[in-house]
């Protein structure tokens, strides 16, 4: 049997409990899992990519997720180019609602047409289904407590940074 490699792409700005849940579950399904911070031109980033990488790595480690996870970033070229480079045959996307399905489906179809890569949708744990990075950013920016929605390293970072320091 060949090595099963998958990629979980996202902006992870900031990483949430939902992201960590999807990463944990995907890590159990594949031999090697690449968690990839990508730039989304449709979003204004709160955190620089280097900070997101650090927070993701710390959150994955603190969650005790296995040693088959590689954290990285990609900003040049198509996502399918990265997948091909690392030998991945699957992209993994977390789905919270019908809106996510509507948003992700065209990308899944185009990625498949471009490279033959499959996209697997993992349904969000209901406890995480209403939490998005955008919502976390808004609550954090207004000085609210985001600790129920983000992993410990992210909560500590945001608390230390304060409402307007990011």
List the catalytic residues: 19, 43, 96, 133
Stretch (H or E) spanning 154? helix 152-161
- The single-letter DSSP state of residue 158 is H
| Alpha-carbon gap, residue 53 to 47, rounded angstroms | 10
Q: What angle, 0 to 180 degrees and rounded to 10, lies between the N-to-C axes of helices 79-86 and 98-115? A: 60
Q: Which two tokens stand for residue 9?
A: 């792409």
Among candidate residues 7, 23, 122, the one with its CA nearest the CA of residue 63: 23
Residue 32: Cβ within 10 Å count: 16
């Amino acid at each position: 049997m060949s090595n099963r490699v998958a990629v979980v792409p996202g902006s992870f700005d900031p990483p949430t409990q939902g992201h960590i849940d999807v990463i944990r579950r995907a890590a159990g399904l594949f031999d090697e899992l690449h968690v990839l911070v990508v730039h989304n031109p449709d979003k204004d980033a709160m955190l620089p990519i280097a900070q997101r990488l650090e927070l993701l790595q710390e959150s994955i480690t603190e969650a005790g997720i296995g040693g088959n996870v590689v954290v990285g970033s990609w900003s040049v070229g198509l996502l399918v180019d990265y997948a091909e480079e690392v030998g991945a045959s699957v992209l993994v996307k977390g789905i919270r609602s019908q809106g996510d399905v509507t948003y992700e489906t065209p990308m899944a179809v185009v990625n498949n047409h471009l490279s033959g890569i499959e996209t697997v949708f993992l349904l969000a744990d209901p406890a995480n289904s209403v939490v998005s990075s955008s919502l976390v950013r808004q609550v954090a920016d207004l000085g609210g407590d985001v600790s129920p929605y983000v992993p410990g390293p992210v909560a500590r970072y945001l608390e230390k940074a304060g409402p307007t320091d990011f």
